[in-house]
Amino acid sequence: MPCPFLGSMNQAFVRNYGSVLIKQYGNLCPILTRGFRTLGVDETKCPFIQKNSIVSEAPKEMTEDIVENVPTYQYDKFFSEQINAKKKDYSYRIFKKVSRLAADGMYPQALEGAENRRVTVWCANDYLGASRHPVVQDAAISAIKSYGTGAGGTRNIAGNSQMTEKLESEIAKLHKKPAALIFSSCFVANDATLSTLAKILPGCIVYSDAGNHASMIQGIRNSRAPKHIFRHNDPSHLRELLASSPTGVPKLVVFETVHSMSGAICPLEEMCNIAHEYGALTFVDEVHAVGLYGKHGAGIGEERGVEHLIDIVSGTLGKAYGNVGGYIAGSTLLVDTIRSLAPGFIFTTALPPPVLAGSLAAIRLLASEEGRSMRVKHQAIVRYLKLSLLVAGLPQLPSVSHIVPVPITGADKVARVAESLMKRGHYVQAINYPTVARGTERLRFAPGPHHTPEMIDDLVTALIESFHENDICFNQFIVNGACRECSMEYKVDIAYEEPVKYPVAA
């Protein structure tokens, strides 16, 4: 039997709007309401529904407001578990609120916490205080007034200024290389360069030092090239691995000169010679050496006279040079290849004018006679701290560089000692996993030329008290300022050496 309601309407209208009619008036139909929930062909006698698939298949207009309870992933629960795991093993990082002061008579102090309590900073990588040098500050301020605070875009779009190329030329000159390229950070420089090179060189094999920084590890991983890891600063193991490598295949040997967490310095010449013997390119990270070693501050390569053995050198503008950014230097073709192919360079906003100007001024400052004097004073202060720790019986890892690591096993213990030191007015960051392996936790001290012997004496006293406060045993030689055995008063003299006189080239 035809539906009297629908039968009274134009059939074309019913065909076009039948689903809307059912939705609005279906509950008034005695036949339709019997099976309204399913609307299946076998569950209703309505001849209209049986002949119209649009209605029998439950059109969109009838189901769009039905919300089913679909289970969703518990994102916050997952994130909470991750954070709680970090807190449980004491590797969760809490950033200290520390505003370093730059004025004369205040540096290297800082304002700490909400109360702006004055503390002495011992862990900054602004090793020589270049960030607060008036020459560097004036250059940055002048650049802001002339060119503003921002670069305006990537190097390809409005971000390539005359000052950009002047800085790259200065870096290339510093490292005695034909070309250089600057990046937003040295993490990006290492990652972008290694991932690009190892990816585009056909069949490239990478040989990586076990102690390499996360930026180099990340770049190698991103390249997906096959890799071999040799023991930290071990030329014999490197040779062993290279000797079993296929001939005629591109190879990269990747390592650091000064290790950031142990202070060890690699056997640079030997490792470069081994790499070249087997036809490999050397990629050498001088991040913790530039500005601090060599006649012009070019790093360990310059200090040892083996710059020419380094095929690609990477460095930073954010540590001894007191600004921000990173760079590589090498052959013209190699640098141009990275410039043209590395996404980490191509798609990043260029460094801003004050950073360019400040970095250029800092490189020139540390290459000058004043820079050499700063390095001499820096090394003297480092020696004073090492000797003071030794005499006090406090532990320290063997280091031939400016980095002074004090081992305290256990992430919980090293965190507590760092907190005890902060209470006594000394800021040094606890170093734990993943920066260093579990079981090798430490405090990492980086004294600079603006620290004084009196500051170090106060620091050593605070360290002794903090060790006792946290029940950490050590072989204490000094009690109340005198030797525990003979009662002789303890005093370490600091001897500032005259700057090394380098021969001046004709």
Residues in the chain: 506
Tally the C-alpha atoms within 13 A of residue 341's C-alpha that lie toward its C-beta: 16
Query: Residue ranges of the alpha helices (H) in 148-226?
Result: 162-174, 186-200, 214-223
Helix (H, G, I), strand (E, B) or coil at 97: coil
Structure tokens given for 318:
């954010």
Tokens of 358: 């400040």
Residues 6 or more apart whose Cβ sits within 8 Å of residue 367: 174, 296, 297
User: Residue 229: which H helix or E strand, with range?
Assistant: strand 227-230
155 Rama class: left (phi>0) / alpha (psi -120 to 50) / beta: alpha
**CA-based nearest residue to 330, from 440, 233, 428, 194:** 194
Q: Is 354 left (phi over 0), alpha (psi -120 to 50) or beta?
A: alpha
What does the buried/exposed string (b/e) look like for 392-420 if buried means 16 or more CB atoms within 10 Å of the residue's CB?
bebbbbebebbbbbbebebbebbbbbbeb
Give the C-alpha separation, 2 to 8, whole Å. Answer: 10
The catalytic residue among 319, 377, 386, 413 is 319
- Residue 308, number of CB atoms within 10 A of its CB: 10
Give long-range contacts, CB 8 A cutoff, 24+ apart: 9-13.
none
CA distance 489 to 480: 9
Antiparallel, parallel or unpaired: β 179-183 and 117-121:
unpaired
**Active site (annotated) includes residue 199:** no
DSSP state of 349: B
Helices assigned H by DSSP within 351-475? 353-366, 369-392, 411-423, 453-469
Q: By the 8 A CB rule, do 273 and 313 touch? A: no
Region of residue 158 (left: phi > 0; alpha: psi -120 to 50; beta: else): left
How far is residue 5's CA from residue 12's CA, in Å, rounded to a whole number? 15
Q: How much of the chain is in helix, strand and coil states, percent to nearest 5?
A: 45, 15, 45
Catalytic residue list:
319
